[in-house]
Chain A
Amino acid sequence: MSCYSPPAFACRLFQTVLPVPYQGALLGDLIEEYTLRAESTSPSAATRWFWGQACRSIPFIVGSSFRTGDWLISASAATGVYVVMGMIKFAADFMITKLVAPEQTAYIVLAPIVFLAITSIGGYAAARIRCGTPIFLAFIVMITVGVLIAVKACSVPVPWWYQFGFLTLGPLSVLLTPVLFGVLKPRSEESTT
């Protein structure tokens, strides 16, 4: 039994966020090779190799999901989660503007906090529902925020970095929350996704 363990964050990324074909087998291969490399070179070199493999594999994994039609189920689940997130956001905005802090300045401060909380919960829920769903949810969030920025939906003048924060941190929180919390959807046959 080896004392080397591969980067946990990268492993969780594969297990929760990505619609990986043969997920268990692919991750097992990576872990096996990581151990061999850590023994023959160094753990840091093996970690770099592991991350390199993980990052370079993402486009192929997503592409493969599109080819097999598996993405349709994940995209539908992501849309469902997004609708629920939208309703929660609407309710939260209503409460903030009408009850908690009617003035605009307070809303500008509270809006990103509420937004990030909702996207984090959405990402977590999406990963619980189905492996691969968070990546579609992150995409939907990014497109929506992008459109809202383009049509200048915000009536209050805000600095560019404020909007940029929504555009980047929103999708990131969707992707990273399930990874950080190690959400593992139980799979009866993980190797034949």
Chain B
Amino acid sequence: MTFLADLFYIAKQMKRGELLGSLEHIILLALARLDGNAHGMIVRREIEERTGRNISIGAVYATLERLEAKGYVSSSTGDPTPERGGRAKRLFRVEAAGNRALQISGQTIRSMTADLKGRWETI
């Protein structure tokens, strides 16, 4: 019953297009973990360290750009440094809409995996 109630809640809360893709979900989570300002390579490194996925920096920036267009993250320009060939960092942070999307995605996953734990333990 709780499971059904959760599903109805999620369907009601989540507007069309608000579902996060797997990479979007992981990158938003990484940004949330990094707590505020983080640039692309830090996000990439965080994902690699935690999940073992060696994703390309192009994929990270393309996803961050998509998330920014959706209003889930915002970005600001840092100062240029010599270590970066005089190029400025683009710092990203999760916005309220991004936190809400993460919350909804988390609820969806929890609801969908609620009764599966026992099954995984037997495998």
Contact = CB atoms under 8 A, between A and B. Distances in A.
Given A35-B83, A57-B56, 14 more contacts: A22-B65, A24-B87, A25-B88, A28-B88, A29-B40, A31-B85, A32-B81, A53-B56, A56-B56, A56-B58, A57-B57, A60-B62, A64-B58, A191-B90
B40 A25 contact: yes
A92 interface: no
Interface residues of B, number: 27
B112 interface: no
A61 interface: yes
Interface in A39-81: 53, 56-61, 63-64, 67-68
B57 A30 contact: yes
24 contacts: A1-B82, A21-B62, A21-B65, A22-B40, A25-B40, A25-B88, A26-B40, A26-B61, A27-B87, A28-B80, A29-B41, A29-B89, A32-B81, A35-B83, A53-B56, A53-B58, A57-B56, A57-B58, A60-B56, A60-B59, A61-B62, A64-B61, A68-B65, A191-B77
Contacts of A35: 83
B66 interface: yes
A13 to B, nearest CB: 12
Contacts of A27: 85, 87
Given A21-B65, A32-B41, A26 B82 contact: no
Summarize B's interface: helix, strand, loop or mixed.
Answer: helix
Interface string B35-70: 000011100110000000000111101101110010
Contacts of A30: 41, 57
B84 interface: yes
A61 B75 CA distance: 18
A28 B82 contact: no
Interface of A: 1-2, 6, 11, 20-22, 24-33, 35, 53, 56-61, 63-64, 67-68, 191
A61 B84 contact: no
A28 B84 contact: yes
Top 3 nearest A-B pairs (CB, nearest first) are A57-B58, A28-B87, A25-B90
A143 B21 CA distance: 33
B83 A24 contact: no
A26 B63 CA distance: 13
B113 to A, nearest CB: 29
Q: Which of B58, B65, B75, B80 has the most chain A CB atoms closer than 10 A to its own CB?
A: B58
Contact of A64 (B41, B44, B65): B65
Contacts of B45: 33
B34 to A, nearest CB: 14
Given A29-B41, A31-B85, A32-B84, A58 B65 contact: no
B13 to A, nearest CB: 26
Nearest to A64: B62
